[in-house]
Amino acid sequence: MKSLSIAVCACVGFVVLYTITAIIIQCVTNNALDSSLTMGVFGLFGTELAVSGFIKIFKIQKEE
């Protein structure tokens, strides 16, 4: 598996784990996680995935 694929899988995996953890914490404590933390996590990993997509596009164009 190439490093870019590993990074994408890690990003998606972390976001899924974060979401599951946030739901569990909310159910157990009846308090939601801070919305700015959630926005930061999704913003960071969303940006990472977008950059990975651009890198892949440029690699494909360079090969042609």
d(CA 58, CA 9): 20
Instruction: List, in sequence order, the alpha helices (H) in the chain.
Output: 3-29, 35-63
- What is the per-residue pLDDT for 1? 66
The contacts of residue 25 (CB under 8 Å, 6+ apart) are 31, 33
Does residue 9 contact residue 3 with C-beta atoms inside 8 Å?
no
pTM above 0.85, yes or no: no
Start-to-end CA distance of the chain, whole Å, equals 22
Average pLDDT, integer, range 36-62 = 92
d(CA 24, CA 34): 14
- What is the per-residue pLDDT for 64? 76
Q: pLDDT tens digits, residue range 48-58?
A: 999 999 998 98
